[in-house]
Structure 1
């Protein structure tokens, strides 16, 4: 029996069809969404590292990524696996129906808060062995890798500044609003370059939105300038722009809102509360 990130059952979500036949070229196979499995972390790392390589954020956080690509890519693989070991995590991968072992896109979400929805998510993955493995990997092995190798590709000062800014922003946008603390939060949503513009990203986001709608909670995320338009197309709105950090490249896409920001999707009827 294979271990997945939310139990042992693979799922099929809304299917995405490829473009029709053009110039005699047959269309790609139908794309479906299934639950992620732990060994998908390797492919997730490959997709993420390749997709982010030329972005302004990577130039800021990992200026030596091309020189030490193996380390840069390995970091993505290990972080993806660390998330999947978390009982609050739900990972979904997009695959072609004819090749379901090869991910072409993925989305990693975490269920935050202490309401019934959060408890249900944790209970669905309540295997004691997973908790032990998660502790050893997240508290021992990943920190060792970060300490020994991360500085090869990363600018650790920039990384620390970025993490500090994210924590500060999270406290302002989410922690100071009690009703926003219970939420699904998108940690990473990426589609391989060869499969972009096929609405796969929207379908992956639909997994979190479906669960959030059922539980009556919001979905939160930090969007790059490149991803902002896609998130807006499925109902997200920008609630706060990112802080412009010293040394961050000014290069931004012509479309979107500049350097990106924190975005929220709200279910119908959701009402905000006052800040504490």
Structure 2
């Protein structure tokens, strides 16, 4: 494989806006020399041992990471080069907030994204990298969360039609089976990333007495959803929309999806074929390529 064909594709995204860097014949190119695409910096906390050699490890964590992306703007005229540079000024200006840095690895087909705020590289220094109609730049970003995210995954669960519901032994209600494809109320989600994932659950009625469990931790909401009404459970922000925390038992626990197989169990009473439970998540990775 030619080296240029294995170079990662880099783009910056803010909402619906996208600024993409090419790798071969385009006039805005991603150059070799990127930094910060592998493991993040590590903070190992040590405490001196009293009266003996060495230290005791008191904790290990990943720190915020910095990313460096070199690029080339190669236009026909000075004016065209200036316009691209001004577009970058506007697009990356840090007062607008962080941007998504997206890295696609053609060699493996993986796509990773991370949120970062512009830190430097566009100060307007017209030195050895400036040549009129073409210019080299090195963009620096700071990423407070050092983990890369994969593409968003969606698992949609619905009532299995024509199936007699299970009879609950602890409730006078008849929980209807929710299923991906088979007739069952249990399913497995395989997380291939390196870190735990905080998913979002989107539950659309009709139905009530929702229960979601991983066999160890259980989250219940004793709230009735009418047809078409949706409850969003954002485990990352620990937020319910609408706010129905008063209908959540004190024993309920929001839980993450861990790397490997996650065996989940969902029941809901009063569900119909219109009832829908969506599980939305993005896996977390230590590296982009």
Q: TM-score of the superposition, structure 1-length normalised?
A: 0.23
Instruction: Answer 1 or 2: which has greater helix percent.
Output: 1
Q: TM-score of the superposition, structure 2-length normalised?
A: 0.22
